[in-house]
Amino acid sequence: RNPTIVRVVGREEVEVGAGRFHAIVVEMRVRDSRHYHGEGIIRIALSDDHCRLLLRLESTVPDAGSASLGLTAYEGAQGDCSAKIR
């Protein structure tokens, strides 16, 4: 329904409440004049390992501002996930 552009921005180190991680950053641009009054941008940081933990999600919407959500803690496959920087 909406033209959406998804691109890999690159790799970077991301610090969230759960720690510091190597991450892959993906950006999604959504054009929808009815909901975004132009273009909405969502940036997603995923851990750079096979677990692909959602580390941070940032959204910017014209006339509405921005929001950021970050991982504060996680349990489970910690031994298998190697993106965390000690």
Q: Is 0.75 topped by the overall pTM? A: yes
65: region left, alpha or beta (phi > 0 left; psi from -120 to 50 alpha): left
Is residue 26 within 8 A of residue 6, CB to CB? The reply is: yes
- Chain segment 27-57, per-residue pLDDT in tens: 998 877 666 667 788 999 999 998 899 999 9
Tokens of 32: 């929808």
- Is the pLDDT at 71 greater than 90? The verdict is yes
- Judged by DSSP in three states, 53 sits in coil
The vertex-34 CA angle with 69 and 38, nearest 5°, equals 70
Higher-pLDDT residue of 62, 23: 23
